[in-house]
Amino acid sequence: VRKLIAGNWKMNGLKAALAEAAKMAEMVGDGNGADVLICPPFTLIGALAEELDGSAIRVGGQDCHVVESGAHTGDISAHMIADMGGNYCIVGHSERRADHGEDDALVKQKAEAVLRAGLTPIICVGETREEREAGKAGDVVSAQLAGSLPDSGQYVVAYEPVWAIGTGLVPTLEDIAEIHTLVRSKVGSKTRILYGGSVKPSNAEEILTVANVDGALVGGASLKADDFYGIYSAI
């Protein structure tokens, strides 16, 4: 499968960040190496889709509501993201699971809403430090997959150990391989499985060559064109 390098800007980015994205598009060029995606805050989706129109970089959301429209103040639907020119939407990121109490059942409903809008969901799973230290990483990820994956449709899975996000800590390549092999056994050969958690230019090459790693979900290092391109060019 063709690799996917996805940037998750989280709650970062004012209008000035559009210029950084334009620089990324210039560096990525025709995107021969891999698919490239940026998921900016909702406020920038429309402008970024316009800015990147005709480039190799796609645009996505970081979350969505489970229904298409209605009385849900402050929420955004997957249809709205599609309408703004988005192609993907992240669901079940550990920050949403922690900050907003999102559970597997809700994440599954969100993934299905993304599919109904004609977009590709990126479904995040991953264990906490306590769960890894207790030897439960595989069980936790298996349970999250069982509860969060839609029953059908094309989706992407992102394995993001919670303790590796934004910390500079990364699992050993053996540990990444073990979980990715486990995920592969549940999702089949056509589903892309991304690794996420402290990916940067200096570790991207070794991570991206681990078996069953089909790309990366990148937080901090996706905010600067030089870093993001450094990860893309590690492929």
The pair of three-digit structure tokens given for residue 24, joined into one six-digit string: 């990324």
Contact between 8 and ligand PGA (CB under 6 A)?
A: yes
Instruction: Report the C-alpha gap between 75 and 80 in whole angstroms.
Output: 10
Name the nearest CA neighbour of 193 among 208, 211, 214, 174.
214
Stretch that binds ligand PGA, among 52-60, 127-135, 175-183, 217-225 (CB under 6 A): 217-225
Rank residues 65 and 93 by Cβ distance to ligand PGA and give the closer one. 93
Contact between 218 and ligand PGA (CB under 6 A)?
A: yes
93 tagged catalytic = yes
User: Would you say 216 and 180 are in contact if contact means Cβ atoms under 8 Å apart?
Assistant: no
Find tokens 């920038």 and name the residue: 44
User: Would you say 115 and 88 are in contact if contact means Cβ atoms under 8 Å apart?
Assistant: no
**Nearest distance in Å: CB 166, ligand PGA:** 4
Contact between 64 and ligand PGA (CB under 6 A)?
A: no
The pair of three-digit structure tokens given for residue 65, joined into one six-digit string: 């509501």
- Give the 3-state DSSP-derived string for 180-211, with helices as H, strands as E and coil as C: HHHHHHHHCCCCEEEEECCCCHHHHHHHHCCC
Rank residues 121 and 196 by Cβ distance to ligand PGA and give the closer one. 196
Q: How many residues bind ligand PGA (CB under 6 A)?
A: 13
Contact between 217 and ligand PGA (CB under 6 A)?
A: yes
User: Would you say 104 and 114 are in contact if contact means Cβ atoms under 8 Å apart?
Assistant: no
Contact between 126 and ligand PGA (CB under 6 A)?
A: no
Separation of CA 183 from chain center: 15
65 tagged catalytic = no
Which residue in 196, 204, 225, 229 binds ligand PGA (CB under 6 A)? Answer: 196
Rank residues 156 and 217 by Cβ distance to ligand PGA and give the closer one. 217
Per annotation, catalytic residue among 51, 65, 79, 93: 93
Contact between 214 and ligand PGA (CB under 6 A)?
A: no
The pair of three-digit structure tokens given for residue 234, joined into one six-digit string: 């590690």
Contact between 86 and ligand PGA (CB under 6 A)?
A: no
Name the nearest CA neighbour of 60 among 139, 133, 5.
5
Residue number closest to ligand PGA, CB atom? 219
Please report, as ranges, the residues that interact with ligand PGA according to CB under 6 A. Answer: 8, 160, 165-166, 196-199, 217-221
Q: Which residues are catalytic?
A: 93, 160
